[in-house]
Amino acid sequence: MRLFMFVLLSLLALQQYHLWFGKNGLQDNSALKKEVALVIVSNADLRQRNQMMFAEIDNLKRGSQAIEERARNELGLVKEGETFFHIVPKED
């Protein structure tokens, strides 16, 4: 009877070890939950960035004002009759 109890307790201890420390055990589960949480946050940031890009693309497709603004800021567009002033900061 004692041998039977010892075998049962040994099997229980082995199962507990596999549950806590084995492959696909509770430690792996908690590590995967943390990784999933990080990926969800990263995806949310990327989703927001994509929405901003889609809004800018839509604005560029529909309106000429956005194209003109971008040309003025990035390419230095100056229309006829306009005066361009370049302000240089004072050096110390």
Q: Which of 68, 63, 88 is nearest to 78 (CA)?
A: 68
State the residue for tokens 């370049």. Answer: 86
Burial profile 23-59: b = 16 or more Cβ within 10 angstroms, e = fewer: eeeeeeeeeeeeeeeeeeeeeeeeeeeeeeeeeeeee
Mean predicted lDDT score pLDDT of the chain: 86
More confident residue, 21 or 74: 74
Percentage, residues of the chain above pLDDT 90: 25
CB 44 within 8 A of CB 50: no
Say what the pTM is. 0.51
Q: Where are the domains of the chain?
A: 46-72
CB 46 within 8 A of CB 39: no
Residues 2-44 pLDDT 10s: 888 888 888 888 887 777 777 777 888 888 999 999 999 999 9
More confident residue, 4 or 66: 4
